[in-house]
Amino acid sequence: MKKSNLAVAAAVTGLLVVGGTMLTATSAVAADQEKCYGVAKAGQNDCATKMSSCAGTSKKDAQKDAFVVVPKGLCGKLSGGSTMSS
């Protein structure tokens, strides 16, 4: 194998290893979090809702179908927080 091909192969292999590690870390973080509905301020939701098309577009505070992602177990401690959409 030519030196240039060897260098490219090594770089690609390195990127695959780093990418796989990041995917595993992201999955672990996601497992420790939950969606918390009814607590987001207007314009501060994390994702689309029935009434808005994307993150950051909720129209009012505590909109029942808008959520933010919080550490697991925190939502139940927040006033108005629910892990289920209304």
pLDDT digits 0-9 by tens, 69-81? 999 999 999 999 9
Cβ atoms of residues 63 and 45 within 8 Å? yes
84 and 44 part of one domain:
yes
**pLDDT top residue among 26 and 84:** 84
24 and 48 part of one domain:
no
> Two tokens at 86?
């209304």
Cα–Cα dist 9/50, whole Å? 46
**pLDDT top residue among 41 and 24:** 41
User: What would the mean pLDDT of 57-80 be, rounded to a whole number?
Assistant: 92
Cα–Cα dist 37/64, whole Å? 6
- pTM over 0.75? The answer is no
Residue range of the domain that includes 80: 33-86
| pLDDT score, position 22 | 45
Cβ atoms of residues 61 and 39 within 8 Å? no
**What is the number of structural domains in the chain?**
2
> Two tokens at 9?
């192969």
